[in-house]
Amino acid sequence: MTAISAPTTVAVAAVLFDMDGTLVDSTAVVERTWRAFADRHHLDAERILAVSHGRRTEETVAAFAPPGVDTGAEARRLVAREVVDTEGIVAVPGAAELLASLPEDRWALVTSAGRDLTAARMGAAGLPMPPVVVCADDVSAGKPHPEGYLTAAARLGTAAGRTLVFEDAEAGLLAARASGARTVVVGPYAAAAAAGLDRVADLRCVRAGHAAGRLVLSYPASAVPPGGPGAGPAPGA
């Protein structure tokens, strides 16, 4: 069980968000895409879905594609399919309201999706694209490497250790923690990467304000206990 803490208030220079599972619920299209990939190559879809969340498409394809498959071409095919398949994509509850309350120069998007897919999914969910977006095309190493979060913080003119990150899955949580950012888990993920972090069910309970030139975020957090049981992440990018 999780322990309910008193409301938490955090003053930071900026806020960094993952996209899929954090701001956008894209579970339906992601499952369709990876199941089609698994069927085409006679693979176990459940194994793929269990590890694909939060990772770049080309990395997942490389990990599972049978010998002889052109992984680059296969990844491009999957991304092209996802860009045009937006059926079922919706905003995570509270995402639109929270983003609207933040100055556009004080938040960024850090995602394992490519730029075209990021724009398609944010648009389908009715969410704005901030000036700073760090996507799969912008980094040499994807999550769980912290490069994306370090890059986003630098582009916002601050250090990652002065930011608050909202993430939902293992790869992203590991990346955020490695960057030095304070990290909040969005949703049910509760395996080792989330241990000891604050958690919110969704973004409806998160409030943003300003004090002494800094952003102040408040939320009624539940602490993810060390060694808590894993709740398998929803598939996504």
The whole-angstrom distance between residue 151's C-alpha and the CA centroid of its chain comes to 15
Nearest to 189 by CA among 220, 213, 168, 216: 168
25 is catalytic: no
Nearest to 188 by CA among 141, 223, 150, 233: 233
Task: Identify the three-state secondary structure at position 22.
Answer: coil
Which one-letter amino acid corresponds to residue 196?
G
Catalytic residue (choose from 18, 25, 168, 198) = 18
The residues, ordered by sequence, that sit 6+ positions from 210 with a Cβ below 8 Å of its Cβ are: 216
C-alpha span between 123 and 171 (Å, rounded) = 24
18 is catalytic: yes
Rg (CA), the chain: 17
Query: What DSSP character marks residue 116?
Result: H
Residues facing 25 on adjacent strands: 90
| Strand 198-200, strand 182-186: pairing | parallel
> Could you give the residue numbers annotated as active site?
18, 20
